[in-house]
Structure 1
Amino acid sequence: MHMNQKKKREGSYLFQVTEEAELLPFLLENMKKNSRNSIKSMLTRGQVSVNGMSITKHNHKLLTGQTVEILPNKAALNESMLTGLTILFEDESIIVIDKEEGLLSMAAKDKNEKTAFSEVSSYVKKQDSRQRVFIVHRLDRDTSGVLLFAKSEKVKMQLQDHWDEVVKERVYTALVEGNVKKDKGTIKSWLKETRTYKVYSNPTDNGGQLAITHYRKIRSNRQYSLLEVNLETGRKNQIRVHMEEIGHPVVGDKKYGSTVNPIKRLGLHASALTIVHPITNEIMKFESEIPASFISKSL
């Protein structure tokens, strides 16, 4: 433990260094309530200063007796004004958010409706009026969890054009109806959307898109199962269609066979996204906590 003092000064936090350490491990040790990603964001945005000097390097060497200060900056203040989402990570190229259920990824019919895209756009424009954001992938309105945005068209194209290489892992948590008997399994089929926007699954190639879903049972009771779902392909409504196909529809998903909704929402959450950073090539994992209602229903 490197800290012997912590106090607020006009919204900032002060830490006293009591033994030599590198800056990132020091912050992780002393700010346990913050995720690794949020602490990295603070460094990137210049919110961290050592003896009054702004430091962004993760491995900056701290010396005994120095004071580390976490400053509230415009970005931090802007963040607190966001509706329906929190920022997990931000740098010059990307923004990763944790989206609440009920918030659209981007505008549909009602142009005035708040969306993840409109909220993130206004957030970045408060820091720089010329800054834009670009949607890279989407989550259904009623699915919560990790969502990635690009900060330039070039980065957006880079991510989308090489999506299969960029994305190392896409993990969802699904609360489904019934007791799933198999501990793990893979569902493979071809998906096609109808004119009424419903996606249908076919076991053989029907000219639709190949979809592959891997699942692993975390736990189950007689009524519900909690599954970890790993996407090999990312098709529209893929998990929802595939869960209906194996006879265990996602809780609250009327469109795809669910008849119950004890959690008052769709039982689907994007819990982790692992990517190769488009600029630094660093492998980064972004995570969102599984909603408590999913856990309590599957106990």
Structure 2
Amino acid sequence: MDIQKFIVDEVDEDTRLDLYLSNQLVELSRSYIQKLIEKGKVKINGNVTKIKKYKVMENDQIEIEIPAPEVLKIEPENIPIEIVYEDDDLLVVNKPQGMVVHPAPGNYHGTLVNALMYHCKNLSSINGVIRPGIVHRIDKDTSGLLMVAKSDQAHKGLAEQLKEHSINRRYIALVHGNIKEEKGTISAPIGRHPVDRLKMAVVDRNGKDATTHFTVLKRFKEYTLIEARLETGRTHQIRVHMAYINHPLVGDPTYGPKKQKFRLNGQMLHAKVIGFVHPIKGEYMEFTSDLPDYFKNLIKILDDKIS
């Protein structure tokens, strides 16, 4: 069981209780939160409430009891994975496009976690049965480098660096349109989309600070190749931020154009560089991965068109 506590800010006043909590707990669906309210798992100022439509007020003290997740047995699976680095405390893995990082309802097989469990005797236990070893994630259709913790001590150290925004994370992305500036910074809060709960969006209310720095690497006629550096790590951050400035990622089925010119299996986004201080050894380490072939091939096609 996990108990989460919140104090309502002025900007959130008059928000429905279920919406307020779903904005605070983005990993939980709104329907699940509504069920917890109906079951009496939510207190406001010390009193149980079952009113989903209650409009929260400034300084309301809200407490929600989240039951322990159902115990599931996640099976190790002999799935090939590219390990860039490994020692007794952590791994760096190069995840392919199309692979889900960890199991979720309806998808308990074929994930990176299933593969890691086959490869490793030990993974950190901090994130529980479903996400052993997983310190951070990248989207299913984003390729590239991920840190994985084998020990709880390493997990805590890497998580602290993520919290402090000290990890060097650089991505390569192909976006629609021609970006005129050589460099830019997007600082805009990201939260759950107010209408489509499956999407994230730049929002005025209930968003978390998010900053993305980008540098233009190459311009094509209708596209721009960029390097994006994350200062924060919000869900779908690069995809949301680039769409926000009207340069959505090529191949992005969620935030990009509905009609795609190329036959792609997802957004052109690759986690190319990751650098961090080893949480046990205290040494700075940095790793780089090449763009996958499908990404290189698309760049070649665009190169041929302008040559």
Shared topology, TM-score over 0.5? yes
d(CA) in 2 for partners of 1:277, 1:263:
39
Between the aligned partners of 2:113 and 2:101, the Cα distance in structure 1 is: 6
Aligned AA for 1:155?
A
Verify the 8 A CA contact 2:168 2:273 in the aligned structure 1.
yes
> Which residue of the partner structure matches residue 248 of structure 1?
247
Q: Which runs of 5 or more residues in structure 2 are unaligned? A: 1-77, 125-131
Percent sequence identity over aligned pairs? 36
2:218 equivalent in structure 1: 219
Work out whether 1:295 is the aligned partner of 2:299: yes
Instruction: Provide Cα deviations, 1:102-152, integer angstroms capped at 9, x if missing partner.
Output: 000101223442111110111113xxxx66651000010000000110001
1:209 counterpart SS class: coil
Match of 1:286 in 2: 287
Q: Within 5 A, what are the aligned runs for 1:175-214?
A: 175-194=174-193, 196-202=197-203, 205-214=204-213
Task: Give the secondary structure class of the aligned counterpart of 2:209.
Answer: strand
Query: Is the counterpart of residue 113 in structure 1 residue 109 in structure 2?
Result: yes
Where 1:254 maps in the other structure, the secondary structure is: coil
User: Residues 239 and 158 from structure 1, CA distance in 2 versus in 1: closer, same or farther, beyond 3 angstroms?
Assistant: same
Aligned pairs (5 A) from 1:77-226: 82-83=79-80, 85-125=81-121, 133-165=132-164, 167-194=166-193, 196-202=197-203, 205-226=204-225
Range with bigger deviation, 141-150 or 101-110:
101-110
Instruction: Report how far residue 181 of structure 1 moved.
Output: 1.4
Q: CA deviation at 1:278?
A: 0.4
Partner of 1:272: 273
- 1:262 partnered with 2:262: yes
Quote the offset at 1:246 in angstroms.
1.1
| Structure 1 residue 294 displacement after superposition | 4.8
Residue type matched to 2:269 in 1? L
Alignment of 1:15-94 (within 5 A): 82-83=79-80, 85-94=81-90
Q: After the TM superposition, which segments of 4 or more aligned residues of structure 1 sit over 3 Å from their partners?
A: 130-133, 164-168
Q: What is the distance in 1 between the residues matched to 2:145 and 2:301?
A: 22
Q: Deviations over 1:169-221 (max 9, x none)?
A: 1000001112111111001111111362211103xx52310110000000011
For 1:114, the aligned partner's letter is G
- Higher deviation after alignment, 251-260 or 162-171: 162-171
Q: Point out the more displaced range, 284-293 or 106-115.
A: 106-115
The answer for the alignment partner of 2:18 in structure 1 is none
The answer to whether the 8 A contact 1:275-1:284 is kept is yes
TM-score (norm 1): 0.66
Aligned amino acid, residue 119 of structure 2: Y
Shift of residue 261 of structure 1? 4.9
Matched-pair contact (CA < 8 Å) for 2:133–2:148: yes
- With structure 2 as the length reference, what TM-score do the two structures score? 0.65
Q: SS state of the match for residue 101, structure 1?
A: coil
Greater fraction of residues in strand: 1
Aligned residue identity for 2:114: S
Q: Distance in 2 between matches of 1:176 and 1:289?
A: 19
Aligned length: 212
Cα 1:241/1:256, change in 2 over 3 Å: same
User: Do 1:175 and 1:298's aligned partners in 2 also have CA atoms closer than 8 Å?
Assistant: no
**How far apart, in 2, do the equivalents of 1:297 and 1:225 lie?**
13
CA contact (8 A) 1:226 1:294 kept: no
Relative to structure 1, the CA distance from residue 201 to residue 111 in structure 2 (aligned partners, 3 Å threshold; closer, same or farther) is closer
- Cα distance in 2 between the residues matched to 1:107 and 1:236: 17
Secondary structure of residue in 2 paired with 1:163: helix
